[in-house]
Structure 1
Amino acid sequence: MTVRALRAMATAVTAGALLAGTAACSAPSEGDTASGAGDTLVVGIAQEPDTLNPLLGYGKDGNSKVFDGLLRHDADMELRPALAAELPEVGNGGRTYTYTLREGVTFSDGTPFDAEDVVFTYETILDEKTNNPSKGELDALADVTAEDDHTVVFELKYPYAAFAERTVLPIVSKEAFEGQDVNAGSHNTEPVGTGPYVLTGWSKGEKLVFEANPDYWGGAPKVRKLTMAIIKDDDIRATRLRSGELDAAILPPVLADTFAKDGREAGKRVIRAKTADFRAVTLPTANPVTGDRAVRRALDIAVDREAIVKSVLNGAGRAAYGPVPTDSPWFAKGTERRHDPERAKEILDEAGWKPGQDGVRRKDGRRAAFTLWYPSGDRLRQEHALAYAADAKKIGIDITVESGTWEVIEPRMEDDAVLSGGGSPADPDFDLYSLLHSSLALDGFNNMAAYDNPAVDRALEEGRRAGDRDDRAEAYATVQRELAENPGYTFLTHVDHVYVMDDAWEDITTQVEPHDHGFGTGPWWNVEDWRPKR
C-alpha cells in the first residue's frame, strides 16, 4: 500500500498552527530593493519567524526554502517525493512507513545527506528536552530507524492515516547540530539545509535574504536572490509595493483591489489563493461572561458572517462555521449556523442575561462585557473584530476592541478574547486537535480558548487513530456538531489570500494555503521553478 492509496482515505483541508511573533517594519536596504530583473525578488510579508530551526517547529508544513522534507506538496496539494526518491511503502496495517532516500544530495555546507539525518531530526524533535511546540503532531510515531544509508523505517503506535503528510517536515544535518544546544544554538539563525536557497543575511525586524543554492539537487533556481522584507503594517506594505520598493506582497482584499483596476497596465497582477485560513474569536472559558455557554451560543448566531465576507473581505473568502472549510470533503453539512439575532436574544433571556438600562445585558449584577484583542497593524483582523463587536452590541453584549503586539496579547488570553487565525490544508487532525483538545489548553497558542469538551476530546482521539476514512469522517463530523451546540470560538470566515506582484515571471501558481502566508506559501511557494518572462 502506497501513500497514494492512503490519501484516498485522508485527503483533506483543515485548520491549525496559530501564528505569533511579528516585528517592526522597515524598508529593504540599498542593494535589496525591487529590480524587476527576473533574477531577484523582494517580497513584503507580515510575519517574521522566531527561528529557522526545524527542530523547533520551523517549516513543519513544507516549502521552507532552506530545507527539504522527505515529501513535498505539488500545486494540487498531492504528495510528491523530495528527499525521498519515491513515495513511501506502507505496511503492517498502516503502522509501518518505509522511505527510500534520494542519493547524491548534500547539505549547503557540503556534507552528504543520508538516513542518519532523518533519524536524528525526528528523534530530536520528540526528545523531551527539545522546545518544539508541535511535537504532539508526531504522537503516533513509536520509532524511526535507518536500515542503511538510504532507507528509513518509521514504526507507528497506531495506524495514523495522516502520517505521510507529516513527512514534509524539514530534515536537518546531524553533523551540523551535534554538540549544540538545539534550543539556543547558532543554527536557529544560521541554518544548514538541502533546500533550493541558502540564508545569507537576517536583519531582525527588517528582512531575510536568501541566495540560490548552486548545488541544489533539483537544479539551481533562476531567481538568484530572494529577499523577504518584514513589514507588518498592511498599509505600509501596499505603499512600498506601489513605490517599487517591493516586487510582491500579500495584502488585504480591500488594498489589493486598488491595484486590480489598472494592475495589468501598471505591470502588476493580482492573485487570489484558496486557503484553509480561518478567522475566529476565542471565547475563554475562564472569563465569567464568555465562559457562559449561553453567551457563546448567542454570539455564534448573532454574527452576520456573510456580511463580513462581503464588506471586510470584498468577497475574497467564505463564511466559517468551524475550522473545516465548507468546501472541504471533511465538512459536516448541516452544521452551518443561520444568522438569527432574534433567537440569540431569546437564548440570553432564557439564561438570565437581561437587558440593562444602558442596553447591555446583566446577570447576577455582572455586565455582559468583555475585551477582544487583535494584533496591531493587522487591518483584516481589526475589521473582523469591529464587525463582530457591532453584531454583539445588537443583542446586548458590549465588546471593547483593543490592539496590541503578541507580547501584550498572550498573557491576557486566559481571560480576554482574541481575534485568532489558523489553518493547515493537509488533514483535519492537524488543526482540530491542537485547537480543541483540552490537554492543550493555553499551551502556547494551542487551544487559546481553553475549550474543554469530553465528547470532542474522544472524537479527536478517534479521528487521529482510526485507519478507515469513513470512521475518521464520522469522528470529525462529531467534533463539528459539538462545536455547533457548544462553541468555544466564534468562527467567522475562511480568508482567501490576495497577492499583488510584478508581472515579470512565468510558472506562477498557488496551492491551497495554510494560515501562515509568509515564507513557504504564496505565489512564491515554488519560486525555485520560476522563469523570467522574455
Structure 2
Amino acid sequence: MIVAFAATLLAGVALGGCAEGQDAGSSDQIVLAEGQDLGRFNPMLGYGQSGVSPIYDGLLAPAADGDDRVPDLVPALAASAPERIAPRTWRVPLKDGVTFSDGTAFDAGDVVATYRAVVDPKVASGISTDFAPIVTIESDGPQAITLTMNTEAHPALYLLLGIVPSERVEAAPAARWKLNTEPVGTGPYRLESLDPDQAVLVARDDRPEPPALRRIVYTHVPDDNSRAQLVQTGEVDGAGLPPRLADAFADRAGVDVAVVASADWRGVSLPARNAFAADPAARLAMNIGVDRDALVEDVLVGKGEPASTPIAEVYDNAFNAEAQFSHDRSRAVSILDDAGWRTGSDGVRVRNGVRASFPLLYNAGDTLRRDLAVAFAASMKKIGVEVLTRGTSWDEIDTKMDTAGALLGGGATPYSIDSQVYDALHTRVPGSSPYSNPGNFTAPGLDELLDTARKSAAGPENDERYRRIQQLYARQPSQVFLAFVHHTYVARGPGWKHDAPILEPHSHGVTWGPWWNLPSWTPTS
C-alpha cells in the first residue's frame, strides 16, 4: 500500500443509516457510504467484473498480499486452474456442491449462459469487447467447461466475470434485467433489501463457512462532502473520498485513512468533430503542454502517478519509461506554431479562421474530475488553447462526445494488460463502450500491433510489443491521459482483522479499499 493502514476496522458503530430492526451498536454489521447509485447489481453491466463482489463469484478471483503488483488469479468457482487440452483450447473444472442464493445448483450451464450473454448484441452489456478473445465456450459435462480462444494468451485474464444462473439470463438489454435489482449469485452475501438510498446485504448461512460479518449496509450519499461529514460524526463506518477530503482525516483519532494504488486512469477524450482536436499536431502539443506532475501534486495531493498512456509501471517489463510525455511548454508552443496555429488577439490560437478551442465536459457530481478538468484547462491556456469546462450529467456527456471533450476514467479490468489497453487505444469496434477512444483517433500501425499483442501469449516478446505500442502512441496520441489515481478511503476502527487492499480497477467505491474481501474478516476479540 502507498500509505500504511491498520488492518483493523470498527464495524457496527454507526449512529444512523442502519437497516430497520438493527441495533446501531451491533457488532456484526458495517455501514458504508457509497457515492454511486445503488442497484445495477448485474455482471453484464460491469458489476464485479474484476472478480470482486460480495454477491457473485467468477471462475477465478484476484489474490495478492498488497497493492504493489498485479494480483494472482486463483480458483473461485473453478475447482482448479484452467488446463490446456489443445492449441488455444482450455478446460476448466468446476466446484461441486455450490448453490446460488436462490437455492438453485451451480453447474456448467450457468457459466456457458453467462459468457454467451455478455457478448450477445441483444444484451448490449457494454463490456462485451473485454471477452472478444473467447471464441466459443461449451459445457463438458455438468461440472466443467471448455473454451476456445483466438489468442495464445492464458484464459485466466477473462475468467473473472461473475456467474449468474442460466434461468436469470434475459434476451434483452442488460439495463432492463431483473438481476439489476434482484441479484442472484453464488457469493457469500445476498441482497436483503434495496431502496434508492440504501441497500442491505446479509450473510448466506447455507455456505460451508458463513462470513463472521453478518450485514453490510450501503447508504447512497452522492455528495463527497456529505460522505466526509457522515464519517466524521460516526454515522457511517467508512467511505471513499477524493484525496483532499480524505487528507483532512489524517490526524483524526479513531479514523484511519487508506491510500490504495490502482490502474485507474483519468484523462481527456478529444472530439472528432472539432478541427483543432482532430489535428494530430494539436493532440501532441496538448500532451506535451500539460504538467502532469503538477496535477498529481496539486489536485491529487500527491495521491497518484502521472499517466501518459493506460499502461502503468505496475505492468513491469511491459511499461515503456521512454514513451512518457515530459512537460515542455516551449516545445508545445513550437509544435502549434509549426502547424499553423497562431496566437490571436485574445491569446487563443487560430488557423484558417478556426479557434483552438473545445468544450470539456465532466460529471458534475465528481469533484475530482471537476478539479482535473479545471487544472487541465489552465495548462492549455498557457499554450494558447481554450478549453471551456462545464459540469453536467452523463446523459448529456454521452450525446456530445463527438463535439466536446470529456474528463473520463478507465482501467476497469487492470489484471489483463490487454483489457487495460485495447479498448482505450484501438479504433472503435462493434460493441465498444462509448467511452472507448471516443474520438476514434489512432497512430499508423497501432491497431495492427494491438491486435497482434491481444492474440499473443504473455512473455518477453509480448512485453516488447506493448512497449512498442506505447512508443507508437506517444508519436501520435489520440487523447490526453493525465494520471493514475490512488484511491483514498476513510474508515473508523478498530474491531476487525482483514486482508490488505490489492491493486484496484477504475470501479472502486466501498466494494474496494479496506472492504474488498469482507467474507474474510474476523473479529479481533
Q: Taking structure 1 as reference, are residues 483 and 181 closer, same or farther at Cα in structure 2, changes over 3 Å only?
A: closer
Residue of structure 2 equivalent to 1:370: 358
- What is the letter of the counterpart of residue 102 of structure 1? K
1:381 offset after TM fit, Å?
Answer: 1.1
* Among 54, 57, 61, the residue aligned to 1:68: 57
Report if the CA contact (8 A) 1:283-1:488 is conserved.
Answer: yes
RMSD: 2.2
Residue of structure 2 equivalent to 1:79: 73
Q: Kindly report which structure 2 residues correspond to 1:523-534, keeping only aligned pairs within 5 A, or say none.
A: 523-534=514-525
Number of residue pairs the alignment of both structures matches: 501
Residue of structure 2 equivalent to 1:184: 176
1:486 offset after TM fit, Å?
Answer: 0.9
Q: Distance in 1 between matches of 2:363 and 2:45?
A: 23
Residue of structure 2 equivalent to 1:491: 481
When structure 1 is superposed on structure 2, of 151-160 and 284-293 the one drifting more is 151-160
User: Aligned pair 1:215/2:223, yes or no?
Assistant: no
1:75 offset after TM fit, Å?
Answer: 2.7
Q: Taking structure 1 as reference, are residues 391 and 228 closer, same or farther at Cα in structure 2, changes over 3 Å only?
A: same
Residue of structure 2 equivalent to 1:132: 125
Q: Kindly report which structure 2 residues correspond to 1:272-287, keeping only aligned pairs within 5 A, or say none.
A: 272-287=259-274
User: Aligned pair 1:301/2:288, yes or no?
Assistant: yes
Residue of structure 2 equivalent to 1:358: 346
Q: What SS is found at the alignment partner of 1:440? A: coil
- What is the letter of the counterpart of residue 447 of structure 1? N
Q: Distance in 1 between matches of 2:175 and 2:36?
A: 21
Q: Distance in 2 between matches of 1:110 and 1:193?
A: 10
User: Aligned pair 1:201/2:204, yes or no?
Assistant: no
Q: Distance in 2 between matches of 1:33 and 1:343?
A: 62
Report if the CA contact (8 A) 2:290-2:327 is conserved.
Answer: yes
Report if the CA contact (8 A) 1:320-1:326 is conserved.
Answer: no
Q: Distance in 2 between matches of 1:52 and 1:129?
A: 19
Give deviations 1:346-403, integer Å, cap 9, x for gaps.
1111011111111111111122111111111211111111111111111111111100
- What is the letter of the counterpart of residue 286 of structure 1? R
Q: Kindly report which structure 2 residues correspond to 1:57-456, keeping only aligned pairs within 5 A, or say none.
A: 57-76=46-65, 77-93=71-87, 95-161=88-154, 163-177=155-169, 184-204=176-196, 206-217=197-208, 219-262=209-252, 265=253, 267-329=254-316, 330-423=318-411, 424-440=413-429, 443-456=433-446
Report if the CA contact (8 A) 1:231-1:237 is conserved.
Answer: yes
- What is the letter of the counterpart of residue 53 of structure 2? S
1:177 offset after TM fit, Å?
Answer: 4.0
Q: Distance in 2 between matches of 1:72 and 1:388?
A: 37
Residue of structure 2 equivalent to 1:46: 35
Scaled by the length of structure 1, the TM-score of the pair is: 0.89
Residue of structure 1 equivalent to 2:5: none
Residue of structure 1 equivalent to 2:11: none
Q: Distance in 2 between matches of 1:324 and 1:182?
A: 30
User: Aligned pair 1:459/2:459, yes or no?
Assistant: no
1:465 offset after TM fit, Å?
Answer: 0.3
Residue of structure 2 equivalent to 1:470: 460
Give deviations 1:405-449, integer Å, cap 9, x for gaps.
111211111111111111132122112111122133974222223
Q: Distance in 2 between matches of 1:114 and 1:443?
A: 30
Q: Distance in 1 between matches of 2:21 and 2:398?
A: 34
- What is the letter of the counterpart of residue 190 of structure 1? E
Report if the CA contact (8 A) 2:348-2:356 is conserved.
Answer: yes
Q: Distance in 1 between matches of 2:395 and 2:470?
A: 31
- What is the letter of the counterpart of residue 363 of structure 1? R
When structure 1 is superposed on structure 2, of 175-184 and 517-526 the one drifting more is 175-184
- What is the letter of the counterpart of residue 347 of structure 1? I
1:483 offset after TM fit, Å?
Answer: 1.9
Q: Taking structure 1 as reference, are residues 111 and 462 closer, same or farther at Cα in structure 2, changes over 3 Å only?
A: same
Q: What SS is found at the alignment partner of 1:313? A: coil
- What is the letter of the counterpart of residue 404 of structure 2? D
1:317 offset after TM fit, Å?
Answer: 0.9
Report if the CA contact (8 A) 1:62-1:520 is conserved.
Answer: no
- What is the letter of the counterpart of residue 274 of structure 1? A
User: Structure 2: where are the runs of 5+ without partners?
Assistant: 1-15, 66-70
Q: Distance in 2 between matches of 1:271 and 1:36?
A: 24
User: Structure 1: where are the runs of 5+ without partners?
Assistant: 1-26
1:323 offset after TM fit, Å?
Answer: 0.5
